[in-house]
Amino acid sequence: MVSAEDVFPESHVTLQRRIRDDWRRLLVAGAAAVLVLGTAVKFASEPFHVNRDSALFQHAGWYILEGATLYVDIWDLKPPLVYAVTTLLAFLTGGNMALLHVVSVAVAVAAVTGGVVLTGFTVHSLTDDGFAAVTAGFSMFVLTSVYAFPYAGLRPKYFAFLCAAAALSLAVEDRPLAAGTAAALGAGFWQLGGGVAALVVAMALQRGGVTATVRTVTGGLAVAAVTVLPFVLTGTTIPLFVEVVLAPVYGVERYTVPGRALAFVAELGPGVFLAPVAAYGWWRGVRAEWRTYWWVAAGGTSYLFQLFLEFQGAIELILLFLFFALGVGVLVARARTPSGRSLVAAVVVVLVVTSVYWNASPVTPVRDEVEEARDQFGVSAYENLPADPPGSPSMREIYWSKLQPENCHYRLGDKQKYFETATGGSVEKERCGQWPFDEPPRAWLVDAVVP
């Protein structure tokens, strides 16, 4: 009988065997090296640069320790778990904002590294293929924001990615209680993590029946209860609901389909070609063993619609890329020949390298043309936004100077300004979270749910 070694180049078989045998170490060390190196390079080029959103999250952690109330003194539409993290970090760093930023960057790097590693572990649990696991994990780096943004501070999307990857890994390992807990934690960092939570419940029903489903839901409800309880005890559930539930619904941007599609290309460049590669992997998996792989295709397809819900930058696509990576892993595992497996891995490497050039090179004529076309098809995301209050300090100034702003709207993002305009409010007020409608909350909610 002719062996694979006799038919295919020895290099394919030997390299894949080595990676397969040592996949855990290669995945963990490789992911950590990329994240640490990318962060170090960016941090060195822009020392102590803080992204506006990261500045809000980190400042709010310190501000809460000073007595501020989340969603009352601090307006934001993100769920509360990121503030639990930044408040703890602010406490541990003693109010030193430079140290808080450095520690936040380190935590961000650790969270993203964990997400990449768990993505690979999920693939290995599905396929029992170490080479596919490593390839899948490293395909996350086609999204350059994964390793190029943590230097600018903490963001809830990093934790949502970590929790989503953990939830899927635990679900595949048939640990429903832990999977439901991890999925709910992801939604507690970012609303879009709720898609993974729903998927994990469906997986539990298919894999373990009613018992597993109940355990999954129990884990999720426990997290939800612990998350909401502080707001119940402090009488701030209305501000929580107004800003975390209502405001994101109002804040969906206006767009044109061609404009969004071109924005997708402009942000990702050559990285867009990972989409058809992943989709082919979804199809191959479902066609071969649909009961094993259906959720990979379902999750990936669902998160593709995110392009039309929330897409202000490439980092918004991190959960979509999680499913892209899983699709790549399935495709590698189901390749018929060693050379075919190597080809998929080579495509990933090429896309990673060319994506770096697309985003880092000062001269990118093709990107300039794509961005010009995007602008031609684009429309204003919001209309009639109020101007910032006169003399408003920047978010970075607020962070570094440890200011305690007079107004609760001090991030002054477009979504919060639009929400206040749409509901008849103002960005110039000391306290936020007021119920914006004439009808009381309970009656309004009943009318909204029951036709």
Q: Is residue 81 part of a domain?
A: yes
Instruction: State the residue range of the domain holding 314.
Output: 24-377
pLDDT digits (tens), the chain, 451 positions: 444 444 444 566 787 888 888 899 999 999 999 999 999 999 999 999 999 999 999 999 999 999 999 999 999 999 999 999 999 999 999 989 999 999 999 999 999 999 999 999 999 999 999 999 999 999 999 999 999 999 999 999 999 999 999 999 999 999 999 999 999 999 999 999 999 999 999 999 999 999 999 999 999 999 999 999 999 999 999 999 999 999 888 877 777 788 878 888 888 889 999 999 999 999 999 999 999 999 999 999 999 888 777 777 788 899 999 999 999 999 999 988 888 888 999 999 999 999 999 888 777 788 888 888 888 877 777 777 888 888 899 999 999 999 999 999 999 888 888 888 888 888 899 999 999 887 887 777 777 667 6
Structure tokens at 262: 């071109």
Q: Is residue 424 part of a domain?
A: no
Q: Is residue 419 part of a domain?
A: no
CA angle, 261 then 267 then 270, to 5°:
90
* Matching residue, tokens 């397809």: 301
Quick check: helix, strand or coil at residue 208? helix
Q: Is residue 285 part of a domain?
A: yes
Q: Is residue 417 part of a domain?
A: no
- List the alpha helices (DSSP H) in 173-273: 176-189, 194-233, 237-241, 247-250, 257-268
User: Residue 272, Cβ neighbours under 10 Å: how many?
Assistant: 16
Q: Is residue 219 part of a domain?
A: yes
| Domains identified in the chain, total number | 1
Q: Is residue 429 part of a domain?
A: no
Long-range pairs for 122-126: beta carbons < 8 A, 24 or more residues apart: 122/165, 122/168, 122/169, 122/172, 122/326, 122/329, 123/325, 123/326, 123/329, 123/330, 123/333, 124/23, 125/169, 125/172, 125/173, 126/172, 126/292, 126/293, 126/296, 126/326, 126/329, 126/330, 126/333
Overall pTM surpassing 0.85 (yes/no): yes
**Distance, CA of 142 to CA of 40 (rounded, Å):** 19
Q: Is residue 398 part of a domain?
A: no
